Amino acid sequence: MAEAAIPVQATPAQEQAPPGAIERPDFEIVPRAGLPIVAVILGLLIAGIATNKPWPLQFLHIVGGATWTVIDLFLGFVIGPILGRLSVPARIELTTRLMPKMVLIMPTAVIVTLAAGWQLGVKLGTVQSSYVLHGWLVASYIVVGVMAVIALGLLEPANIAVLTELKKKRPNPEVIERLMKRFVYSAGITGLMQIATFVIMTRIAAG
Amino acid sequence: MSERRLPPVTQVGMLSLALIVAAGIYLASHLPQHVSLTPAIVLLAASALLLAGNLLALARVQGFAWGRFFAVARWALLAYLVIAGLIEYAFVRNDTSGGPLVVLSLSLLVFAVHVPVLIAFTVARFPDE
């Protein structure tokens, strides 16, 4: 794997690196190997909506939702705080390996959860305003809406921008730091919103 | 880190997305009743105006890294058109038609254009050193 050097202040952990530089693994901003997997998942989503059967829709909605929720919580409350305390080289190592995967996983998980969930709601009649727990459904729309605006406006752009910065011949550590902070704080907020999702979804499931 | 002044593209973009989301929630929360489309149209129009304003403000920035901007924007646009297409499919599959379908489709179009603009802007605002 090709590597490049980023000029930053050396730490004791970088004894083997050239003075004033750290090693940076080569990586793809969008991992091309993952694209066929995304295509298959989106194909399953289209098939699920087309057949309109409860089991495939439940499967897609629950698996997609679990993936989305767990990743948001894990990033926001576990990885995020850890990332902030790592040395710069370790942070770059983790970032270049983790964040390209997020570029594919998160939008896929979100679209599968929402599209399958909507279709399921239409089929079961739970999206109708006459549904007894309609207020909770509307609350879930609002929570998802807030998460979507944060994810699309802050999280996703920061993710792509930090990876693009790391791809440059001479990445600017200050830019990376700033974008990573934005990513971690946004992930924390969406993590908190996911707790609200838990409350709403368990209430709806309880009937 | 010295940084030149740039228009508040991210903030305006997030407001635009929030308006579309609000329009979507308004329509979705009244199903299957026929409600007035006016609030959703007003929200959509405001969102589209913010998108136009964002593009206009960005176009006036001198020396912006347009090469990098478009390199990112075109792929992001492709990705978000696919996502918008899937959402549109779900609406059509469920017999959404007429005015609500037009409002939802135009909302998806604003969404599919604005998100790539936000991604590309965030990337291009930090030029190579």
Per-residue model confidence (pLDDT) at position B3: 63
DSSP letter assigned to residue B62: T
B1: confidence class by pLDDT, cuts 50, 70, 90: low
| Each residue's pLDDT tens digit, A63-101 | 999 999 999 999 888 988 888 788 888 888 888 999 999
In the predicted model, residues of chain A with pLDDT beneath 70 are: 1-23
* Residues of chain B with C-beta less than 8 angstroms from the C-beta of A46: 86, 89
Per-residue model confidence (pLDDT) at position A7: 47
Distances in whole angstroms, Cα of residue A53 to Cα of each of A47, A63, A65, A112: 10, 16, 18, 15
Distances in whole angstroms, Cα of residue A125 to Cα of each of A62, A135, B102, B104: 18, 14, 23, 20
Torsions phi, psi for A23 (to 5 deg): -80, 145
Per-residue model confidence (pLDDT) at position A55: 95
Q: Does the distance separating the beta carbons of A111 and B87 come in below 8 Å?
A: yes
Domain boundaries, chain A: 54-206
Does A189 touch chain B if contact means CB atoms closer than 8 Å?
Answer: no
Per-residue model confidence (pLDDT) at position A91: 85
* Residues of chain B with C-beta less than 8 angstroms from the C-beta of A115: 86-87, 90
Which residues, numbered 62 to 101 in chain B, qualify as contacts with chain A under a Cβ-Cβ cut-off of 8 Å? 68, 72, 75-76, 79, 82-83, 86-87, 89-90, 93-94
Nearest Cα to Cα of residue A21 among A88, A83, A85: A88
Provide the pairing of β-strand A3-7 with A21-25.
antiparallel
| Each residue's pLDDT tens digit, B7-27 | 999 999 999 999 999 999 999
Residue A89, C-beta contacts closer than 8 angstroms, at least 6 positions apart: A11, A13, A14, A17, A22, A23
Per-residue model confidence (pLDDT) at position A146: 94
Which pTM does this prediction carry? 0.87
> Average pLDDT in the B19-45 region?
90
